Chains A and B, each alone.
Chain A
Amino acid sequence: EVQLVESGGDLVQPGGSLRLSCAASGFIFSTYWMHWVRQVPGKGLVWLSHIHNDGSKTGYADSVKGRFTISRDNAKNTLYLEMNSLSAEDTAVYFCASGYNYAFDIWGQGTMVTVSS
């Protein structure tokens, strides 16, 4: 079965850090661009970051540039998002997704990140 499973979401204090993981199975992970997208409950989706198949290229939305770092381990079929300097505005459900022709075709179920004191 093709699937992505996120983990690592938690309650964290403002200014804190968190690392999200996204485990892939059922497809050749190393051949896909991968993305992180977030959604404040009840609101729309926001694209955050992407990484090339081999990890050689990355990109970030302005809202997270310099604070978030995307990476991947193709040997472990796992995508990561390292998040630093978190604020209440980062509270959201975080989804990982695989890229397909400039769209997002496989999505994980999401992991909740809450930033609060």
Chain B
Amino acid sequence: QSALTQPASVSGSPGQSITISCAGTNSDIGSYNLVSWYQQHPGKAPQLMIYEVSKRPSGVSSRFSGSKSGNTASLTISGLQAEDEADYLCCSYVGSRNFAYVFGTGTKVTVL
């Protein structure tokens, strides 16, 4: 199972909106509405930001939103803030037959 494809880096100025893509196949993202997104600051554990494509866990800012179209999922951060500078990773369930999840390659978000 190959990793999902994300851009290596995305940048934006404070207050702007950015979108991170996560490209998969019809065996993973295309087959399940079970995409999740994680924020990871250097040296820290990942934090769940989005699950089931577009749902936010309690405590996660509404500035974070998720969507999916076909085999590609997206994470949008609106009103970009300095604290949003981190790595972001997507993940998709790939089915009980494989008992597996596949993560994305990761995107470094830089706030200019």
A residues whose Cβ falls under 8 Å from a Cβ of B: 35, 37, 43-47, 50, 58-62, 95, 100-105, 107-110
A–B pairs, 26, beta carbons within 8 Å: A37-B103, A44-B89, A44-B104, A44-B106, A45-B91, A45-B106, A47-B101, A47-B103, A50-B99, A59-B99, A60-B99, A62-B1, A100-B48, A101-B51, A101-B52, A102-B32, A102-B93, A102-B101, A103-B51, A103-B52, A105-B51, A105-B57, A107-B46, A107-B47, A108-B45, A109-B44
Q: Judging by beta carbons under 8 Å apart, are B52 and A102 in contact?
A: yes
Q: Judging by beta carbons under 8 Å apart, are A104 and B93 in contact?
A: no
Give the total of B residues in contact with A, Cβ under 8 Å: 27
| In the bound complex, CA of A30 to CA of B2 (Å) | 32
Question: Is the C-beta of B102 less than 8 angstroms from some C-beta in chain A?
Answer: yes
| In the bound complex, CA of A61 to CA of B102 (Å) | 10
Question: Is the C-beta of B82 less than 8 angstroms from some C-beta in chain A?
Answer: no
Question: Is the C-beta of B3 less than 8 angstroms from some C-beta in chain A?
Answer: yes
Q: Judging by beta carbons under 8 Å apart, are A47 and B45 in contact?
A: no
Question: Is the C-beta of B65 less than 8 angstroms from some C-beta in chain A?
Answer: no
Question: Is the C-beta of B34 less than 8 angstroms from some C-beta in chain A?
Answer: yes
